[in-house]
Every structure is written in structure tokens, then in C-alpha cells.
Structure 1
């Protein structure tokens, strides 16, 4: 495997300027052009995180502007009905935000890279389905998807849109009463009205009456084995791993950087802020994800700007 030219290694990017979205300096363009050259003739596995979707208005957990929060764990969701009621009240509001989110330039760039044959696949830690909305097809939704729910008893899957109808019927006037509330990560919302929370009615499975759960992986829950296997297959089919917009804080994402480094594959990270994968990276970019992927996609396929 060819090595990155001097000046494009990890150390060179530790002090890169924090540019506003859409702004790339000449040095940034030169660095990204060398990454595009590394991608020519090689298949690339793309791992994306919450930093890719912030330009679509979806907050992240660990970005520079993110406020500290303690996510509900799977064990708490299962065992504590008041916490479960609070979760569903917030999720019902968060769903109304998430379904309005649209892909940004980074999602379209990833889809363009897939169409032009440069990607072995896209592994995303996001549950927002914006890769698919942008036209990508070979995507592993590693942590699940916000637009589905599943019954934990009979395993029947329902669309989140269908559940929204049921929750609206069970909680008339709820959404109207919470206008102006801000969105939070993973189809959550910052809902602080305790009266609205304690009076929120939880839906049960229409088929068996069992407990419903959003079809994504909670903290403390394992990623389904088939998703992990499919993701590793994408990595095995690639010579290069690009991590875009993920802090790699949780092992579900970090494992791919570890595997790639172990197998001597090139590892490139594009993320504002430190990541757990930085020691594994051949190159680290302190740049916005959307503008970086867009620039690389345009270099590799000039027609991608109009696709």
C-alpha cells in the first residue's frame, strides 16, 4: 500500500484551522486532493457518525457544541416504567423533528462516491436514514433506524409513522402543547414539562400487547450480529477506511478502525475534535465532514456536483 506523502500524516492536521462550513483553505484543498488520489483505484469503506448530520439540524452527543447528556440505557428502558414513559414522550416529539430532516452535502457526496464505484459500502452509526434519502443503497444502519419500532414480545416490526398515529390518538394535543422544544440526538427532544411527561400514554403492540421499542440500539445493548458481519465484509472488501464525523467513543464504531489498522489498511479520520481512533489514523482532518466529502467526491467525479 502506498504511503501518504510527507505533510499529510496525522501530526500535520492536529492544529488545522476550524473552518466555517463550506470554506476550505488552499492547504485543506491540497490535503484533501491527496486523499482523493489515495482513493483512486482503491475501494474505500466509509464509516459515518453524528458529525455528518449536524448540518441537517440533527444534534450530536459529543461534538464541540454538544451539551453533556446521559442517554437512557437499554436496561433502564426495560425495567423502569416512569423512565420508559418519559422516553416515549420525548421520542414522540423527537420523531416529529427527525422526519423533517433532509440530507446535506455530505450525504449526497457519499451517495455520489458509491455510485461512482469508489466505496465498498457505507457503515453509519446514525439512525436518521439520511444516507438512503440521499440515494445511497449499500448502507449498514449499524445502530438501527429511527423510522421503525419493534415489539419485544412477538418481534413484529411497525413503521414509526404508524406508531405516531397511535400515539397522537392516545395523547391528543400533545404535540401542539410542546411547540418550540429543541431537538436532541437519536430522535430525542429536550422536553422538561413533567405534567406532560407523567400524563403521556404509552402505546402497546397492536398485535400482542407487548412492549414496543424503537428499532435502534440503546446504550448497553449489543449491535445485532448480522449488521456487524455485513460491516466487516465491507471493510474486508476495501483497502482504505474513512471515518467521517464520528468520535469513535463507543466500541461499535472503534472496532472497525482497530481492524483496519491491524490489517494495515489506510485509516483516515475527518472529524472536528479528538477521537478514540486518532492513534490509529494515518491522517486526521480537523475539518467539517460535509465540505470535505463534497470536495473529495468532486475531485474523483466532477459530475458529482450536479448529481
Structure 2
């Protein structure tokens, strides 16, 4: 007898496998001089699309997931199935996010964000597809006068909140005002380390603080089933976002991935798409990536350091 299928459970298990994926060495490291000069030629001649990950934002004080000091060493992100189906887990997230989000909100673009925004404005690269949800590429883009249509936030933005019950949207800052009114003195009583924030915008809290936290409801329907408007592990990237990212990748004559291990398929698929089209792939990462065997150029260094050097040597 064939066992019954449980889509939610299957999705949760798949998400856990994605979270736990370890990206190991598959090819020898490339000589930094060879890699950096190759990437410089790629930028000068091929107008690549740029795929970014958490390593671009570490210099803004936001940790990555899989780096040496990444948050996965101390914290497992909640899967979409847990968030959607477990009211206690959802309440725990919002209590933790109430404290952690303001640390994310204080983060500002670093040189990597600013250089990439300037490259888009100048036409050095054809656009940016980011897996980050911190909004820093968009902020840098506004300051640089970059065309916002040339940025795809593939996994959404923590600055927006969506109601899972009715679909209404609200800004995270507006929600925060309502949460502060519902939880007077909460932030003053809770003390956490400044570097304890996770890439998904929450921090670890004792259960007593979770229990003391009061959630507020959707302004449109009153439901407390509110969710950051971001793609969780175990959740599909919305079709419109995915298709716009595909368009940017197809418009570029190469792909440059910066600050990402490409462990998650939603980012790695663009490297595969480039490979199928016969396009060059370049990588800038502190450690190994899932795309190493597909890449022509592989520079093992930090995002800001690499982009600063490349920008200084572009003509």
C-alpha cells in the first residue's frame, strides 16, 4: 500500500535539507591574480548580471548564513511550513523579530552595495539579482540614481509585511509602531548582544520574553497570521520575481555571483542558466561555492575588497 503524501511535511523536510547543505571544495582554488584580472575583463567586455548573497552585507553588520561566523552555527531559520502552520512558532518569530528587526533597520549600505549600484547606473553591469532581504541594494540604488527596475530582490524585503489570511500589505515600520504600543517597555527590559541578530531579522530570546510578547493583528482583517514579505526556506519564489530575474540574467552576457555560496537552488539556477546559454560565470566568495565547477573565474576574497579593487581598475 502506497503511503499517503503530505505536501507540507515534504516541503518542510526539503527546506531542512536546503538549510543543512554543506558546500565543500570541488576544484582547486584559482590564483587570485588570474581570477581578479579575468573578472576585470568580464566587467569591461561582457556587461554581466550580478547575483548577490549575504556576503555582500556582512560589512554592514548583517551576518551571513554559511560563512565561518555565519548564523547557521548558532541558529536554524524557521521553515515556511513551520511559520504558516504553527501559531506558537509564528508568535516566537515575531517576539524575536520585534527586538532584532531594528538592528536590521539600522544597517546601512557598505562599499560593495554602493559600487554595484554605481555600476548599474553606468551600465558596467546589466542589473542585480539579490538573494538578500535587507533592502540595502535598493537603498544604495536610490542614492546612486540607479534604475530600480534593474534590481530584483529575489527573496523579498523585510521592510514589508503580508497577511497570510487576506494578503494585505503593511510596512514593517508601521507594524513596529503598533507593536511598540502593544508592548510598552518590552524593548527596554530585553537585553541582547548587538551582533546576535540573524540574517532573517530576529534574535534568540528566552521563552519568558516570548511569552510576555503581545502580537497585533492585520489592519485589514484582524488576523495575527502576519509574515515578513520574504521567501522562507521551503517556500517558492513568486513567479513574477523569478521571471524578472530570468530576464535580467538573459540580458547579461555573463553572470557574476558575489558573496554567495549558491547553496540554495533559487540562486544556483542562474549559474546553470548561464552555463546552458554558453555564458561565462565569475565568482567572488570567501569560501567554496556550489558553482565552482561551472565558473571560469573564481576569486576567493571578501565582496567589498574585491569590488573596490575591480572598480579602481575599470577604465
* TM-score normalized with structure 2 length: 0.84
1:242 aligns with 2:250: no
CA distance in 2, matches of 1:107, 1:60: 15
Which of 98, 104, 116 is the aligned partner of 2:104? 98
1:222 aligns with 2:236: yes
Larger proportion of helix = 2
**What are the equivalent positions in structure 2 for 1:180-219 lying under 5 Å apart?**
180-181=192-193, 182-191=196-205, 193-210=206-223, 211-219=225-233
Between the two proteins, the alignment pairs up a number of residues equal to 279
Which of 26, 29, 35 is the aligned partner of 1:13? 29
Post-superposition Cα deviations, 1:190-238, rounded to whole Å, max 9, x if no partner, equal 22x2111012111210111122110001111100001110001001111
> Counterpart in 1 of 2:152?
140
> Counterpart in 2 of 1:5?
none
- Structure 1 position 41, deviation (Å): 3.3
Q: Secondary structure at the match of 1:106?
A: helix
Indicate if the aligned counterparts of 2:134 and 2:157 stay in contact, CA closer than 8 A: yes
Indicate if the aligned counterparts of 1:61 and 1:69 stay in contact, CA closer than 8 A: no
Q: Secondary structure at the match of 1:134?
A: helix
Q: Secondary structure at the match of 1:103?
A: coil
Moved over 4 A (4+): none
Task: Mark the runs of 5 or more structure 1 residues left unpaired by the alignment.
Answer: 1-9, 17-26, 302-307
Indicate if the aligned counterparts of 2:131 and 2:153 stay in contact, CA closer than 8 A: yes
> Counterpart in 1 of 2:14?
none
Post-superposition Cα deviations, 1:76-118, rounded to whole Å, max 9, x if no partner, equal 1111111111100111112110110011110011011111101
Post-superposition Cα deviations, 1:253-302, rounded to whole Å, max 9, x if no partner, equal 0100111111111001111111111111112111001111122122225x
**What are the equivalent positions in structure 2 for 1:109-120 lying under 5 Å apart?**
109-120=115-126
1:131 aligns with 2:129: no
Indicate if the aligned counterparts of 2:281 and 2:294 stay in contact, CA closer than 8 A: yes
Indicate if the aligned counterparts of 2:268 and 2:291 stay in contact, CA closer than 8 A: yes
Change (3 A) 1:140 1:199: same
Post-superposition Cα deviations, 1:134-179, rounded to whole Å, max 9, x if no partner, equal 1243210000001010112221111000000111111111111223
**What are the equivalent positions in structure 2 for 1:1-307 lying under 5 Å apart?**
13-14=29-30, 28=33, 31-66=35-70, 67-135=73-141, 136=146, 137=148, 138-181=150-193, 182-191=196-205, 193-210=206-223, 211-300=225-314
> Counterpart in 2 of 1:305?
none
CA distance in 1, matches of 2:304, 2:120: 15
* TM-score normalized with structure 1 length: 0.87
- Structure 1 position 12, deviation (Å): 6.5
Indicate if the aligned counterparts of 2:131 and 2:155 stay in contact, CA closer than 8 A: yes
Task: Pick which of 129-138 and 279-288 moved more.
Answer: 129-138
Indicate if the aligned counterparts of 1:13 and 1:283 stay in contact, CA closer than 8 A: no
Change (3 A) 1:284 1:33: closer
